[in-house]
């Protein structure tokens, strides 16, 4: 169980494959487990590095102010601790917030940037429905199977949930096996609400790919279109029928798009 001591926590990390480094940053309440359909395909081309964020799974917990830069600093600390000077950076959802912050704070360490199902935040973020927001904000029965199921179901497309219930149950079991500190969950929520990079993303220097699904009910597709309009030279790829967890539902399309983009840079 690899652990790296950072300033205030021990960070659990996982490494797969060889080649140019690729860092995968998980989303809200997610840990390294969430990339289970990316490890093997991407590790055939890159050295894939991912981790459990502060207070998630096997990583330690520390109280922190709600500042997104702190998680970007964790990524930089992990890379430095492993002797990685520069990497491809990929973040999904909340992890996309972290990835944007990292690319802006550490441009020399960012080879490329891939932002999946995410937004620049702030007042012009296109929100989900109030019902979906209420499910995400609730901490009732925290870390219980019922709570996790209610939290995760909106992230799947309705078709996938009805046609592949075993896959949905597998994801729920993986999340159950990676408990999240309630303080961490509240920290991630408050940090996400306060995140606003709209005025700064034009300063992103790395080649950037935006990946999203057109059926995402948590971070609607308009958010990726808005990001693409502001990040110089960025490329937008929209997956037909893709939900918020389209990298789990449609991994072949997701993985192929990532590999093609990274290979071109």
Residue 78's SS3 state is helix
Q: Domain spans of the chain?
A: 3-127+182-263
What value, to the nearest 5°, has the Cα angle with vertex 78 and ends 77 and 84? 100
Alpha helices in 106-214 (DSSP H): 130-137, 145-152, 158-163, 165-176, 182-194
Give me the pLDDT at residue 126, please.
Answer: 94
Please give the pLDDT value at position 194: 95
Pairing of strands 87-92, 3-5: unpaired
pLDDT of amino acid 27: 97
Q: What are phi and psi of 85, to 5 degrees?
A: -85, -30
Burial label for 242, CB within 10 Å (0-12, 13-18, 19+), is buried
Residues 225-252 have a mean pLDDT of 97
Q: In the block, which residue shows the tokens 């995968």?
A: 24
Determine the Cα–Cα distance for residues 157 and 185; give it in Å rounded to an integer: 24
Report the helix count and the strand count for the chain, using DSSP H and E. 11, 8
Q: Which region among 84-88, 89-93, 158-162, 195-199 has the lowest average model confidence (pLDDT)? A: 158-162
Per-residue pLDDT, averaged over 167-181, amounts to: 95
- What's this model's pTM, rounded to 2 decimal places? 0.96
Q: What tens digit of pLDDT does each residue of 78-112 get?
A: 999 999 999 999 999 999 999 999 999 999 999 99
- DSSP per residue, 14-36: EEES-SSEEEEE--TT--GGGGT
CATH architecture of 3-127+182-263: 3-Layer(aba) Sandwich (3.40)
């Amino acid at each position: 169980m690899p652990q790296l001591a950072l300033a205030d926590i021990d960070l659990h990390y996982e490494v797969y494959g060889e080649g140019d480094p690729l860092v995968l940053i998980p989303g809200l309440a997610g840990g390294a487990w969430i990339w289970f359909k990316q490890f093997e395909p991407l590790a055939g081309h890159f050295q894939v590095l991912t981790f459990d964020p502060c207070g998630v799974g096997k990583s330690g917990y520390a109280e922190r102010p709600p500042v997104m830069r702190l998680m970007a600093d964790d990524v930089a600390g992990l890379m430095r601790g492993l002797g990685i000077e520069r990497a491809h950076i990929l973040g999904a959802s909340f992890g996309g917030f972290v990835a944007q912050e990292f690319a802006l704070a550490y441009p020399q360490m960012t080879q490329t940037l891939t932002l999946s199902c995410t937004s620049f935040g702030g007042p012009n973020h296109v929100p989900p429905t109030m019902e979906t927001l209420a499910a995400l904000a609730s901490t009732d029965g925290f870390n219980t199977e019922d709570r996790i199921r209610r939290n995760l179901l909106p992230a799947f497309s309705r078709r996938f949930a009805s046609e592949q219930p075993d896959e949905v149950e597998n994801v729920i079991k993986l999340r159950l096996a990676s408990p999240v500190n309630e303080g961490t969950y509240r920290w991630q929520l408050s940090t996400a609400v306060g995140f606003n990079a709209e005025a700064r993303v034009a300063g992103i220097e790395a080649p950037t790919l935006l990946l999203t699904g057109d059926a995402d009910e948590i971070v609607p597709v308009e958010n990726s279109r808005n990001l693409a309009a502001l990040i110089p030279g960025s490329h937008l790829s929209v997956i037909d029928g893709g939900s918020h967890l389209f990298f789990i539902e449609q991994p072949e399309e997701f993985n192929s798009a990532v590999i093609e983009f990274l290979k071109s840079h």
